[in-house]
Amino acid sequence: MAGKPLQAPAAGTGRDVAVQPPGERKIRPRRHPWRWAGVAVLAILAAMLAHSFASDQAFDWGVVGQYMTAGPVLDGLLTTIELTAITMAIGIAGGVLIAAMRLSPNPVLSRVAWFYVWLLRSVPLLVQLLFWYNLGALYPRLSFGVPFGPTLVSAGSNTLISPFAAAILGLGLHEVAYMAEIFRGGILSVPHGQTEAALSLGMTRRVALFRIVLPQAVRVVIPPTGSEVINVVKGSALVSVITLTDLLYSVQKIYAENYLVIPLLLVAVIWYLILTSLLSAGQYLLERRFGRSLARTPRADWRPWRRGIPPREAS
Amino acid sequence: MNNPAAEAHEPMVRAVGVHKSYGHVPVLNGLTLDVAAGEVLCLLGPSGSGKSTFLRCINHLEVPDSGYITVAGELIGYREQGEFLVEAGERQIARKRAEIGMVFQQFNLFSNKTVLGNLMEAPVRVRREPKAEVEERARANLRRVGLAGLADRYPGQLSGGQQQRVAIARALTMRPKVMLFDEPTSALDPELVGEVLDVMRDLAADGMTMVVVTHEIGFAREVASRVAFLHQGQIAEIGSPASVIEHPSHERTRAFLATVR
């Protein structure tokens, strides 16, 4: 006799006894054997990779550690951070401007903004960087004065546009085009009724945009902007072609002399990983900050393993 | 013309021959109408009859194709220059709109601001009034609509009825000369309609000039000074609630009232 049957037919009635209330029966969670198989396969692969990393001569972790904080590398890192910060500042300020122009009822502004985005998104960033770097070949002297009239200030292009300035122009103006589209999307995501309410209270379109619409658009704009910052961090590595010593170019210069290519590239990889990880954390904090006004319920715990567990009662 | 107080008989809102079409579809067909100061005018009519469009023309959210509207004796959206009406600049229109309160069907509270922030934004930013003064007035208006305790909430945390009462308080904090209501109860659950109508009834009793687009026939009958029935962008019938609602003379009015009752 293998245990007693769950349901015994009720004598005489010809039908089963009423099923017990569900609360009194134990539920056994579904098993997921394939997940465990998957974990096992991944664990083996990870172990192989780690073993190769640790034992392969080419990686040479000692050299990596030695160059992580070498002066030229830190200088390059600083240049990359500066480039990213300035590019994003230009991108955000210019992006708001171009997006506002694009959505303006003024057809001249709107078309100029469209043209800008079309042009700057169509030409590869690498080409734009080379173009700014070589601007001196096109316009040997840059001058400021009355159009078609006398010149007030004039300077040689190559003295005015250093590699750093060329990098800022190239990265910044390119970024403006992408940020403009991100802001345009954000602005369009705010219901039109918000603008109408602002106008009906006597605000001008500009005040309505800056006081009412943009603050609400920010919430939508943060995730793609976070991606853009990370793109700029990595995209800034392109400036090595115009001889600007950023993180990548600084390690390239070192391995050109000592031929320790892989360890030095690893130095760059690790620094890029650290930068993007910090930026992702910053993005998370920003999103939390700007989600406040929409929170109907207390927000989810940031620790994934705590989700679904009710927060402790305040006592 | 520029000093309405000097001419007490000047209507608060005057619309003369207002035309508006969307593409080839005419929405307003030469609508002419006066609203006296202190009057509550309810606009009834089937959808597409031009009620909301007319209301939005009053504060120039819609621009009429021809015809003009004055509020408190001043042209809205234009200035007079000899025999011409010259389109006004944005600032001039904005200044005029600040005197006209509007309540929307979808509330349109600023979702990035608290209730108090919603009320204070325009008086402080647009009129540059001192904050303390505005806050006092804002809190008084919140008490008036029965929401004194919710000043620090965000709109998303309020019920529809509460949001609409905040929207009314927000418009009132600008001390408008006229209040426009665009189907203020149409987006509300039936049990929340009453609280909003109560606030509006209270406003009417206080002598506020109101133009109300509504489907609440009961409210119109009880509160309106006059009721206008719109049909195909024109006023088909206008008069006291008793005459228009109880004894409609126009065929279309009768048909419409039969469907909403």
pLDDT digits (tens, 9 = 90+) for B129-176: 999 999 999 999 999 999 999 999 999 999 999 999 999 999 999 999
Q: What residues in A contact B174, CB-CB < 8 Å?
A: 201-202
How many beta carbons lie within 10 A of that of residue B177, not counting itself? 16
Q: pLDDT (tens digit, 9 = 90+) per residue, A52-65?
A: 888 877 677 888 88
Nearest chain B residue to A192, by CA: B108
Residue A216 touches chain B, beta carbons under 8 Å:
yes
For residues A167-173, give the mean pLDDT: 92
pLDDT > 70? residue A15: no
Which among A119, A154, A124 has a CA at the least distance from the CA of A140?
Answer: A154
Which among B92, B53, B34 has a CA at the least distance from the CA of B209?
Answer: B34
Name the minimum distance, in Å, from the CA of B125 to any CA of chain A.
8
Predicted local distance difference test score (pLDDT) of residue A135: 81
Q: pLDDT (tens digit, 9 = 90+) per residue, B203-234?
A: 999 999 999 999 889 899 989 999 999 998 89
Q: What residues in B contact A202, CB-CB < 8 Å?
A: 94-95, 97-99, 122, 126-127, 174
pLDDT > 90? residue A134: no
Tokens 């969307």 correspond to B22
Q: Are residues B95 and A202, on separate chains, in Cβ contact within 8 Å? A: yes
Q: Are residues A202 and B111, on separate chains, in Cβ contact within 8 Å? A: no
Residue A208 touches chain B, beta carbons under 8 Å:
no
Predicted local distance difference test score (pLDDT) of residue B86: 86
Which among B87, B43, B95 has a CA at the least distance from the CA of B71?
Answer: B95
Predicted local distance difference test score (pLDDT) of residue B183: 92
Lowest mean pLDDT among A162-166, A203-207, B191-195, B199-203: A162-166
pLDDT > 50? residue A141: yes
ipTM topping 0.85: yes
Q: pLDDT (tens digit, 9 = 90+) per residue, B9-55?
A: 689 999 999 999 998 889 999 999 999 999 999 999 888 888 999 99
pLDDT > 80? residue A13: no
Q: What residues in B contact A294, CB-CB < 8 Å?
A: 111, 154, 156
pLDDT > 90? residue A44: yes
Minimum-distance CB partner of A212 among B90, B110, B157: B110
Interface test mutation site (partner B, options A104, A189, A195, A200, max chain B beta carbons within 10 A): A200
Q: What residues in A contact B125, CB-CB < 8 Å?
A: 203, 207, 211
Mean pLDDT of chain B: 90
How many beta carbons lie within 10 A of that of residue B220, not counting itself? 22
Q: Are residues B108 and A205, on separate chains, in Cβ contact within 8 Å? A: no
pLDDT > 70? residue A310: no
Instruction: Using DSSP bridges, classify how beta strands B226-231 and B234-239 pair: parallel, antiparallel or unpaired.
Output: antiparallel
Predicted local distance difference test score (pLDDT) of residue B250: 84
Query: When comparing pLDDT for A313 and A309, which is higher?
Result: A309
d(CA B182, CA B105): 6
Classify B20 as helix, strand or coil: strand
Q: pLDDT (tens digit, 9 = 90+) per residue, A178-194?
A: 999 999 999 999 999 99
Q: Are residues A197 and B110, on separate chains, in Cβ contact within 8 Å? A: yes
The token pair that represents B206 in the structure block: 């206080």
Residue B126 touches chain A, beta carbons under 8 Å:
yes
Predicted local distance difference test score (pLDDT) of residue A17: 56
Distances (CA, A) of A280 to A27, A230, B104, B211: 40, 8, 40, 52
Distances (CA, A) of B220 to A128, A209, B73: 66, 37, 26
Beta bridge partners of B29: B19
Lowest mean pLDDT among A105-109, B75-79, B163-167: B75-79
The token pair that represents A119 in the structure block: 């042009």
For residues B230-244, give the mean pLDDT: 90
Q: pLDDT (tens digit, 9 = 90+) per residue, A201-234?
A: 999 999 999 999 999 999 899 999 999 999 999 8
Predicted local distance difference test score (pLDDT) of residue A19: 59
Q: pLDDT (tens digit, 9 = 90+) per residue, A263-281?
A: 888 899 999 999 999 999 9
Q: What residues in A contact B167, CB-CB < 8 Å?
A: 197
Cβ-in-10-Å burial (0-12, 13-18, 19+) of A227 comes to middle
Which among B34, B4, B16, B46 has a CA at the least distance from the CA of B213?
Answer: B46
Residues B114 and B152 sit within 8 Å (Cβ to Cβ): yes
Predicted local distance difference test score (pLDDT) of residue A55: 80
How many beta carbons lie within 10 A of that of residue A315, not counting itself? 3
d(CA A254, CA A269): 15
* Residue A2 pLDDT class (50, 70, 90 cuts): very low
Predicted local distance difference test score (pLDDT) of residue A143: 73
Angle formed by the axes of helices B90-97 and A192-200, to 10°?
Answer: 80
Name the minimum distance, in Å, from the CA of B115 to any CA of chain A.
11
The token pair that represents B176 in the structure block: 């408008």
Minimum-distance CB partner of A203 among B59, B125, B171: B125
Q: What percent of chain B has pLDDT over 70?
A: 96
pLDDT > 50? residue A86: yes
Name the minimum distance, in Å, from the CA of B8 to any CA of chain A.
25
* Residue B3 pLDDT class (50, 70, 90 cuts): very low
Name the minimum distance, in Å, from the CA of A202 to any CA of chain B.
4
Residue B249 touches chain A, beta carbons under 8 Å:
no
Predicted local distance difference test score (pLDDT) of residue A114: 96
Q: How many A-B residue pairs are in contact by the CB < 8 A criterion?
A: 79
Q: What residues in B contact A197, CB-CB < 8 Å?
A: 102, 104, 108-110, 167
Minimum-distance CB partner of A201 among B112, B113, B126: B126
For residues B232-239, give the mean pLDDT: 90
Lowest mean pLDDT among A45-49, B61-65, B134-138, B246-250: B246-250
Q: Are residues A216 and B170, on separate chains, in Cβ contact within 8 Å? A: no
Predicted local distance difference test score (pLDDT) of residue A28: 86
pLDDT > 50? residue B4: no
Instruction: Using DSSP bridges, classify how beta strands A141-145 and B78-81 pair: parallel, antiparallel or unpaired.
Output: unpaired
Classify B235 as helix, strand or coil: strand
Residue B113 touches chain A, beta carbons under 8 Å:
yes
d(CA A116, CA B10): 52
Mean pLDDT of chain A: 83
The token pair that represents B83 in the structure block: 């025999």
Predicted local distance difference test score (pLDDT) of residue A214: 93
Taking phi over 0 as left and psi of -120 to 50 as alpha, with beta for the rest, B128 belongs to: left
Predicted local distance difference test score (pLDDT) of residue B8: 55
Decide: pTM greater than 0.95. no
Cβ-in-10-Å burial (0-12, 13-18, 19+) of A202 comes to buried
